[in-house]
Amino acid sequence: MRQWRSIAKEAVARASIVVKFLCFLHVTDSYLLSFSHVLGPSMLPTLNITGDVVLVEHLSHRTGKVGSGDLVLVRSPLDPRKTLTKRIVAMEDDKVTFSLDPTRNYSSRSLVVPKGHVWIQGDNLYASRDSRHFGPVPYGLIQGKVFLRVSCAILIAFGFVGKIDLRYLYLLELVIEETC
Amino acid sequence: MRQWRSIAKEAVARASIVVKFLCFLHVTDSYLLSFSHVLGPSMLPTLNITGDVVLVEHLSHRTGKVGSGDLVLVRSPLDPRKTLTKRIVAMEDDKVTFSLDPTRNYSSRSLVVPKGHVWIQGDNLYASRDSRHFGPVPYGLIQGKVFLRVWPPNSFGSFGQ
C-alpha cells in the first residue's frame, strides 16, 4: 500500500512538471514566438515550394500593428483547420484592384476592403487561392506575422555565439546574404 | 549584498509561481472552460439586456461539434477586438431564408451558406446586427460555446432551444 502511494506521488509530481512546461510552451507559442512549417507554390519566389521553417511572432496582430506588405499566417475561411501563409495587400478601407486571371490583363475588378477585414494575396498570383477567390478575410482570422526564416536565424546565431575566425566571418556574411 | 541576492531569489521564486498559475489559467480558459459577461439587447429573451455571466466551453468548436441552435461566442468580423454572442442558425451548405426587416414579411432573401462559414443570428431579430447584415461568418472566428448561465442566480441553468 505504501509503495503505491509513493509511486503515485512521484507520478503526480513528474506529471505536474510536464504540465507546467507545456502550459508555458503554449502561452509562448500563442503570444510570443513560434515555429511554423510552410509549404506550397502560392508564395514563390518568397517561400520555397518544398517547405520552409519560419519564425512567427504573435504580438503584432494583437496590438493591431500588422499592415500592408506583411507576411501573415491566416486561418483559412474555407476550412478552419487549415492555416494559410499569404501577404496582406490591403487593409480595411483601402481600395484594391485585382484581376482573377493574371495572364489576361483586361479582366480587372476594384473594390474597397470592408471594415474589420484585410485583403490577402499569395506572391505567386498564378498558383494561389486567396482573397481574389474567397473575398476579404476578417482580421480576427490572422494568427501571426512571419518575420524570419529559420536557416537565416541559425546562421546569424552561429555568427554571434561561436568563435569564428575573421576569414570565415566574411564567408558567413556572404552565405547569410544569399539565403536570407 | 547578500541581502539583495536573497531578496532577488525570493522575488523570482514568487514571480515564477504567479507565472505558472497564469499560464495554467490561460490554457484552461482557452481549451476548457471560461466565464464570460455578456450583455446587450440582441439575444432577448434568452439573455438579459443588463448582462449575464455565462460559462463557455472551448472544446466543441475545436472538434467541430458545434451545430445549428448552439449559442456561441464569435469574434466580430467588423471589429476584431469585440466578441459577439449569437445563435448559429445554419451551418455550411445549408440554405438560409431571412428578411432584413422583420416588421415586413414580404422582403425575404435566400442563400446557401458557403463552405467553412456559419450563419449567426441574435434571438432578438429587431435589435441585432448579425449575419443578416454582415453575411456568413468564417467558422474560424468561433471562440466557444455557451452552455450554462451562472449569474443572476434566479435564472441559473442551461438554455432552451
Least confident of A102-116, A165-179, B32-46: A165-179
The closest CB to that of A80, out of B22, B77, B138, belongs to B138
- In this model, does residue A8 exceed pLDDT 70? yes
Cell of B100: 432584413
CB contact under 8 Å between B138 and A19, yes or no, is no
CB contact under 8 Å between B20 and A19, yes or no, is no
Active site residue A20: no
B61: left (phi over 0), alpha (psi -120 to 50) or beta: alpha
- CB contacts under 8 A, A 85-124 vs B, are 114-117
Query: pLDDT (tens digit, 9 = 90+) per residue, B57-96?
Result: 999 998 988 989 999 999 999 999 999 999 999 999 999 9
- Residues of B within 8 A of A140 (CB-CB) are 75-77, 80, 141
Contact A150, A64 (CB under 8 A): no
Query: pLDDT (tens digit, 9 = 90+) per residue, A149-162?
Result: 876 556 555 555 44
Q: Please tell me the distance from the alpha carbon of residue A131 to that of residue B92, in angstroms, as a whole number.
A: 19
Cell of B65: 461539434
Q: Does B79 touch chain A (CB under 8 A)?
A: yes
With pLDDT > 70 as the criterion, what percentage of chain A qualifies?
A: 82
Largest CA-CA distance found in chain A, in angstroms, rounded: 82
pLDDT for residue A98: 87
| Interface ipTM | 0.79
CB < 8 Å & 24+ apart, contacts of A165-168:
none
pLDDT for residue A167: 56
Site from A17, A25, A27 to mutate, B interface, most B CB atoms within 10 angstroms: A27
Query: pLDDT (tens digit, 9 = 90+) per residue, A115-149?
Result: 999 999 999 988 899 999 999 999 999 999 998 88
Q: Is the peptide bond between A138 and the residue preceding it cis, with omega within 30 degrees of 0?
A: no
Q: Does B24 touch chain A (CB under 8 A)?
A: yes
Q: Is the peptide bond between B152 and the residue preceding it cis, with omega within 30 degrees of 0?
A: yes
Least confident of A44-53, A116-125, A164-173: A164-173
- In this model, does residue A179 exceed pLDDT 60? no
Cross-strand bridge partners of residue B97: B110
Nearest residue to A145 (alpha-carbon basis) of A81, A80, A92, A74: A74
Read off the DSSP letter of residue A113. Answer: P
The closest CB to that of B115, out of A78, A114, A140, belongs to A78
Q: Does B17 touch chain A (CB under 8 A)?
A: no
Question: What average pLDDT score do residues B18-46 get?
Answer: 87
> In Å, how far are A80, B70, B139 from B57, measured between CA atoms?
18, 12, 16
Q: Show the CA angle centred on residue B112, arms to residues A78 and B73, nearest 5°.
A: 60
Nearest residue to A42 (alpha-carbon basis) of A164, A132, A137: A132
How many Cβ atoms from other residues are within 10 Å of residue B139's Cβ? 25
- In this model, does residue B150 exceed pLDDT 80? yes
